[in-house]
Structure 1
Amino acid sequence: MGEQTVLITGTSTGIGLEIALGCARAGWRTVATMRDVSRAERLLAAADTAGVADLIDVRRLDVTEPGAVDTCVEEVTSTYGRLDAVVNNAGAGHLGTLEQESIDDIRAVMEVNFFGVLHVSRAALPHLRASRGRLVTVSSVGGILGQPFNEAYCAAKFAVEGFMEALAPLAATTGVRVTLVEPGAVASEFIANVGIDADAAIDAAGVYGPALRAYLARTGQAFAAAQSPAAAAAVVVAALGDPTPPVRVQTSDAARTFVGVKLADLDGGAVSRTTASWLV
């Protein structure tokens, strides 16, 4: 696989960093992109320790800038002559509820978590057709089950899931395999990057304060037993190397169990009972 090239978004921390390392270890020429390349030190140090620094090419990319996306993809294909896979990993967490945030706040969540995926995928698809390559998108169990105080984030991930599920059979007619990867709780900086002060948020939540307090307590417990970023990333790397990759794959038994509630829930009652229990 030494001649194959993969472009990965959002690689400065967490799952994205581990995907980049895993791909390089597997022999991929790995273009690791991030909004702020000054944050690349951790990835580059880990790559050096793993003996794969020569396979890591760090480039700046903000997925919310369509022109920058087009330029990055064209420069990568010009440099390496091909693009064999893309991993849409860049994303941002968000906590809030409709009455207490603006529509612009919600649009911003969609820009990063949904439209960013589309910008990168659209630019890459012609090159992936040429290589009969792979388009892998890191989604979330939140793209299957709607979760309280995650309305905007879940809406973005639901959109990603629907878009890629609809695209998969069409892309396959041209030799491109599309896969959604669904992590559950992962011990990364993703939650920390949401950047909320819990006590202040509860105080500001008004009528929703008690529910938010219970939700945050439950979420803290869930993340105390979270999957490691490396374990989640290994599922992505495996999908890239699978000759017949699935359209949808979860990264842990906990994620499979959680998603299974929704996929077997025809009337929505099981999901509602599950998420309602988080608020008391």
Structure 2
Amino acid sequence: MSPKTVLITGTSSGIGLATAIAAAENGWQVIATMRDTAKAGALRAAAEAAGVSVEVRELDVTDPGSVAACLAGLDRLDALVNNAGAGHLGTLEQESIDDVRAVMEVNFFGVLQVTKAALPLLRASEGRVVTVTSVGGVVGQPFNEAYCAAKFAVEGFMESLAPVAARVGVAVSVVEPGAVASEFVNNVAGRDTVLEQVGPYAPALSAYLDRTRGAFANAQTPQDVATQMVELLACERPAFRTLTSDTARAFVGMKLADFDGSAVQAMTGAWIA
């Protein structure tokens, strides 16, 4: 049998890059996509070091034409991994609604756009959709209002889509990492820039950034997340939700048991005190 094909978005670094390599090592034919293929150097080097090959394609998840062009000519697709996303720090009073819309475009509507385009192929193969969300898709976090809103939206959409897609043979899952040691955080605007932008909220943001730096000092590796992603791709009956670490499970578990919301508010309030 020919190898199964997986398309992975956001593979220039971090979880996407690690998942592309791990999937190829496990026999998948990998279509590794990114918005700017000039940034494919790290992926190509990792593939060469691992002795595997991946096909690199350009894909801007916010551009319908780019999505259509990326999927054009595919005769078969067995899995889609929605990994592309962008972090964002800010708070509502100090940023524009257009800023928030831009976060939603990448992290929510981009996921929907690619998934919609892939579904006919995935129905034909009885394949699967795996979407990387975040513990921030379950627990709202200070100064991550727009980002968490987008991830909450993805979680709700995929949880609602899952039983519908299952009726036509497509499994839908979400993966919720906690802190991951990758370029994702570094790609968010720098500390000084953000502090200048938030005005009276600067002391609270400074406290939050200090706390977050400590959390990422003990972050999970992208390779660890990728291992679990590949296991999920191979699983005959994948679970809807995968939390990738004990820390993530404890964090999300607290929210799910917090019936009146007071435990989450006490915890996140302490982060910015």
TM-score range, shorter chain: over 0.9
Q: CA deviation at 1:45?
A: 1.1
Residue 187 of structure 2 aligns to a residue in which SS?
helix
Aligned to 2:49: 49
The 2-side partners of 1:97 and 1:111 are apart by: 18
Secondary structure at the aligned position of 2:61 is classed as coil
Question: Are 2:98 and 1:104 aligned?
Answer: yes
Secondary structure in structure 1 of the residue aligned to 2:141: coil
For 2:153 and 2:194, locate their aligned partners in 1 and report how far apart those are by CA, in whole Å: 27
- 1:57 CA drift (Å): 0.3
Which one of 250, 257, 261 corresponds to residue 264 of structure 1?
A: 257
Distance 1:27 1:206 in 2: 51
- Give the aligned partner of residue 86 of structure 1: 80
Runs of 4 or more, structure 1, over 6 Å off, are none
Q: Secondary structure at the match of 1:190?
A: helix
Aligned residues: 273
**2: CA distance, partners of 1:35 / 1:251:** 26
User: What secondary structure sits across from 1:136 in the alignment?
Assistant: strand
Return the alpha-carbon distance in structure 1 between the equivalents of residues 133 and 6 of structure 2: 18
Aligned identity (percent) is 63
Counting only pairs closer than 5 Å after superposition, residues 125-274 of structure 1 correspond to structure 2 as 125-196=119-190, 198-274=191-267
Unaligned runs of 5+ in 1: none
Instruction: Provide the TM-score with structure 1 as the length reference.
Output: 0.95
The equivalent of 2:65 in structure 1 is 67
Q: Measure the CA separation in 2 of the matches of 1:223 and 1:174.
A: 40
The answer on whether the counterparts of 2:138 and 2:252 sit within 8 Å (CA) in structure 1 is: yes
Q: 2:83 is aligned with what amino acid?
A: N
In structure 1, the residue matched to 2:24 is 24
Q: How far off is 1:200 after superposition? A: 4.2
| Aligned partner letter, 1:162 | G
Cα distance in 1 between the residues matched to 2:197 and 2:55: 44
- The answer to whether the Cα contact below 8 Å between 1:92 and 1:190 also exists between their aligned partners in 2 is yes
Question: Unaligned stretches of 5+ in structure 2?
Answer: none
Partners of 2:146 and 2:81 in 1: how far apart? 22
Shift of 1:71: 2.2
**In structure 1, distance between residues paired with 2:269 and 2:231:** 35
| TM-score normalised per structure 2 | 0.98
- In the TM superposition, what whole-angstrom CA distance separates every residue of 1:188-208 from its partner, at most 9, and x where no partner exists? 000110022x23433442221
Larger deviation, residues 85-94 vs 267-276 = 267-276
CA 1:3–1:216 in 2, change beyond 3 Å: closer, same or farther? same
CA contact (8 A) 1:11 1:20 kept: yes
Are the equivalent residues in 1 in contact too, given 2:104–2:150 (CA < 8 A)? yes
Deviation at 1:149, TM superposition (A): 0.1
How far apart are residue 2 of structure 1 and its match?
4.8
Query: How far off is 1:74 after superposition?
Result: 2.4
Superposition RMSD on alpha carbons, in Å? 1.1
